[in-house]
Structure 1
Amino acid sequence: MKKSLIIFSLCVFSAAVSGQEQKKGKVIDQASLRCYYLFSKKNEGEAKPYRKDTMVLEVGSVASRFYNPARLTRDSLVNAKMKNIDPSSIKSITVFKADAGKDLTGMPGTAASSSIEGESYQIIKDRSAKKVTVADYVSVMRDKFQYVDEIGALPWKISKETDTVASYTCQKATLNFRGRDYVAWFTEDVPVNDGPWKFGGLPGLILKIEDTKGLFLFELIGLDQLSAPIPIGVDDSKSIKCTRAEFEKQKKNQGAGMQINFNAGAMIIAEMPGKFEYFPMELE
C-alpha cells in the first residue's frame, strides 16, 4: 500500500481509547487500518469553518468504526468520575439543570464535556450483516442512545474525472443522501470499500467527501497500518434502543453539556449554561 501522511502522536492516543472502549461488548472484527480525517463544519453563508475535528476510521475485513477520539476521552472521564465515587462518601448532592445550568469549570476537580466540543457519536459499519449501528451519549452521564440504520447500497454515480488527495490518485463519485448532495474522491490504491461517517460502498477508500454547499467536509490527513489489530465491536450495555427519528429528536433537545464536581463529600452535577444548536447532516 502506498504511504501517506501518518500522525504518530494520535496513533498511540487512539489505540489507548480504542482498547478502553472495546473491552466490553461483542467483537465483530479486528481493525488492521486506521485512517485519520479532518472534519470541518461551516454555517451556510460563512467562508470559514466554525469547527474542525480529527476523526478516526478503524477498518477491518468486514467492519469499521468511526469516532472522535478526543471527544470520546472527555465523555469517558465524566462517566468514570461518576462511577468511581463511593456512594457512602456522598454527604450532599446539588443538581443544576436546563435553565438553571451552572458553569463549574473554575472549581478544582471538575470533569466536564461540552456538547459543542466535537462529534460524540460512534458509527459501526458491519458490512457482513449490511447494517450500520450509531451510538451517542446525547447528554453525558445518561445511558447512551443506539439505533441501527438500514442504509442499504448507496446510489453512487462514478465519473472518469480524477484528482490527487494526500498523494493518492483519486476518482470522483457523486451521491444524493438524505437531503444533501455530495462529491467524493476515492482511491483504488487503498482497496477498502469504506469511508468516513456513514459513507462507503465505492471500489476504494474515500479520501475526501464534501456536500455541494460546502458545509461538511471530511478529508484524509493520515493512514496507519496497524502492527497489532484493534477490536471492533458493538457495546449494547446500558443502551437505549431507538429509531433514527427518535434519536434525532433527542439530539434536538440536547443540552450544552454536563459537568460534575466532587469535593469533601459534596457532589455538584450541572448542565452547562446555554443551548446546543444541532446542525444535522441528514435532512430527511
Structure 2
Amino acid sequence: MAIEPVEPFRKNRQMMKKLLTIIGICAGLSASAQGFLGKNTGRVQKTIDTASLRCYYLFSKKTEGADKVHRTDTMVLDIGPAVSKFYDPARLGRDSMLNAKLASIDPQTIKSVNVYKSDSGRDFSSMPGSTYTGTLEGESYQIIKDKRAQKITVLDYIDAIGDRYKYEDETGALPWKMSNETDTVAGYTCQKATLSFRGREYTAWFAADVPVPDGPWKFWGLPGLILKVEDTQGLFAFRMIGLQQLSASAPLPIKVDDSRSIKCTRAEFEQQKKKQTGGMLININGGAVVIAQSPRKTGYLPMETE
C-alpha cells in the first residue's frame, strides 16, 4: 500500500527541532540507552524501597458492548514494607528498546524528515532501511503506593515516545464493604469485598492468609492481599497468577525514575490521555527519517470516569 503524506516536508526546521527533541528525550528516559551509548544520558533511578513479595496478575480488558476480551497483559506488583510498585514489565521493556534506538541516532546525520498522520501512513513493509515500532500495546503506567503517606504516585505516558506525566493521587482510605462470602482463588481461601470507586463498581477477593493490605492498580486497604478484582460491567479484571516470596537475604530493589516528568493533576492527565494515538512507526534509511502515527485500534476506555 502506498504511503500518502498528509504533512510531508523536507528540511523543515520546526519538525527537525521536534525530532531532535524526541531523540533527546529518549536519550534521557531510557536506561537501555545508557548502556547502548556507553555514556551517562542523565536518567537517574533511585531505590525507594526493597520488595519482599512479588505478585503476578493477568489483566484483561474489554470494550463496552463486546463479548470477548480484546487484550490481556501480565502485570507485576512488587511489595515492600513501605512502598509498592505496579507496572507492566513487557511494556517497559519495549519502550526502553525503542528509546535506545532513537537515542543512538546522530542528529548531524539527519538530512530529511517526513511525517504522515493518516491511516495510510502506517504501512512501512515495502520501505528500505530500518523500521522501529512504538505501539501503545500494554500498560504504560507505573503506580507507586506509599503506605506511610497514604498517597499514590502515577507515572505515565501519552504516546510511545515523548513526555512522561506525573500526578499525585490522594485516594485516602478506600470505602470497602466487607462480605462473609468466600471463594478460592489461586489455591487461597478468599473473602469478598465490594467497592464504589470513581464511577465504577468493583468486586474483590482478598486472602487474609497473606496479610498484606495491597493489590493491583490503585486497589489497597483490605486485611489481606487482593488476588482478584473486576468491575461489575466485566470491562476490567485483575487475577493473580503467581506469588513469589523473595529471600530476606536478597530483597528486590523497588526503583523509580521520576525525573524529566511533567507534573499535572489526574484530571489534566486524563484530558491528555483521550488524545492518545495508537503509537508511532519510525523508518530510518541513511539520513532520511519517516515518522507515521499508528491508528488506535480501540478507543481509550478509562477505569476512572469521575
Q: Which residue of 2 aligns with 1:82?
A: 102
Question: Does the aligned pair in 2 maintain the 1:38–1:219 contact within 8 Å?
Answer: yes
Q: Which residue of 2 aligns with 1:266?
A: 288
Query: Residues 90 and 96 from structure 1, CA distance in 2 versus in 1: closer, same or farther, beyond 3 angstroms?
Result: same
Q: Which residue of 1 aligns with 2:7?
A: none
Task: Tell me by how many angstroms 1:75 deviates.
Answer: 1.6
Query: Residues 161 and 20 from structure 1, CA distance in 2 versus in 1: closer, same or farther, beyond 3 angstroms?
Result: farther
Q: 2:267 aligns with which of 245, 248, 253?
A: 245
Partner amino acid for 1:283? T
Question: Does the aligned pair in 2 maintain the 1:194–1:205 contact within 8 Å?
Answer: yes
Q: Which residue of 1 aligns with 2:246?
A: 226
Distance in 2 (alpha carbons) for counterparts of 1:155 and 1:122 = 23
Larger RCO (alpha carbons 8 Å, 6+ apart)? 1
Q: TM-score w.r.t. structure 2 length? A: 0.80
Query: Residues 46 and 273 from structure 1, CA distance in 2 versus in 1: closer, same or farther, beyond 3 angstroms?
Result: closer
Q: Which residue of 1 aligns with 2:6?
A: none
Q: TM-score w.r.t. structure 1 length? A: 0.86
Distance in 1 (alpha carbons) for counterparts of 2:269 and 2:236 = 20
Task: Tell me by how many angstroms 1:122 deviates.
Answer: 1.1
Partner amino acid for 1:87? P
Three-state SS of the structure 2 residue aligned to 1:110 is strand
Q: Which residue of 2 aligns with 1:183?
A: 203
CA RMSD of aligned residues (A): 2.1
Three-state SS of the structure 1 residue aligned to 2:122 is coil
The answer to whether the aligner puts 1:208 opposite 2:208 as a matched pair is no
Q: Which residue of 1 aligns with 2:50?
A: 30
Q: Which residue of 2 aligns with 1:281?
A: 303
Distance in 2 (alpha carbons) for counterparts of 1:188 and 1:201 = 12
Q: Which residue of 2 aligns with 1:140?
A: 160
Three-state SS of the structure 2 residue aligned to 1:249 is helix
Task: Tell me by how many angstroms 1:129 deviates.
Answer: 2.0
| Per-residue deviation, residues 30-55 of structure 1 (Å, max 9, x unmatched) | 11211111111122333221111111
Partner amino acid for 1:261? N
Query: Residues 191 and 83 from structure 1, CA distance in 2 versus in 1: closer, same or farther, beyond 3 angstroms?
Result: same
Greater shift, 252-261 or 37-46, is seen at 37-46
| Per-residue deviation, residues 175-204 of structure 1 (Å, max 9, x unmatched) | 100011111000022121110000001111
Distance in 1 (alpha carbons) for counterparts of 2:259 and 2:173 = 29
Partner amino acid for 1:249? Q
Greater shift, 172-181 or 117-126, is seen at 117-126
Give runs of aligned pairs for residues 84-233 of structure 1, distance below 5 A.
84-97=104-117, 101-104=121-124, 107=127, 109-115=130-136, 117-227=137-247, 228-233=250-255
Partner amino acid for 2:281? Q
Partner amino acid for 1:240? I
Q: Which has the larger radius of gyration?
A: 2
Q: Which residue of 2 aligns with 1:68?
A: 88
Distance in 1 (alpha carbons) for counterparts of 2:126 and 2:210 = 47
Task: Tell me by how many angstroms 1:209 deviates.
Answer: 0.3
Partner amino acid for 1:161? E
Distance in 2 (alpha carbons) for counterparts of 1:137 and 1:232 = 20
Q: Which residue of 2 aligns with 1:7?
A: none
Distance in 2 (alpha carbons) for counterparts of 1:248 and 1:194 = 24
Question: Does the aligned pair in 1 maintain the 2:155–2:258 contact within 8 Å?
Answer: no
Greater shift, 257-266 or 58-67, is seen at 257-266
| Per-residue deviation, residues 103-143 of structure 1 (Å, max 9, x unmatched) | 3366553221222x111111111112221111111112211
Q: Give the % identical residues.
A: 64
Distance in 1 (alpha carbons) for counterparts of 2:199 and 2:71 = 22
* Superposed structure 1 runs of 4+ greater than 6 Å apart: none
Three-state SS of the structure 1 residue aligned to 2:268 is helix
Three-state SS of the structure 2 residue aligned to 1:24 is coil
Q: Tell me, which stretches of 5 or more residues in structure 2 are unaligned?
A: 1-30, 34-42
Query: Residues 100 and 240 from structure 1, CA distance in 2 versus in 1: closer, same or farther, beyond 3 angstroms?
Result: farther
Query: Residues 128 and 26 from structure 1, CA distance in 2 versus in 1: closer, same or farther, beyond 3 angstroms?
Result: farther
Distance in 1 (alpha carbons) for counterparts of 2:97 and 2:154 = 21
Task: Tell me by how many angstroms 1:88 deviates.
Answer: 2.2
Three-state SS of the structure 2 residue aligned to 1:140 is coil
Partner amino acid for 1:167? G
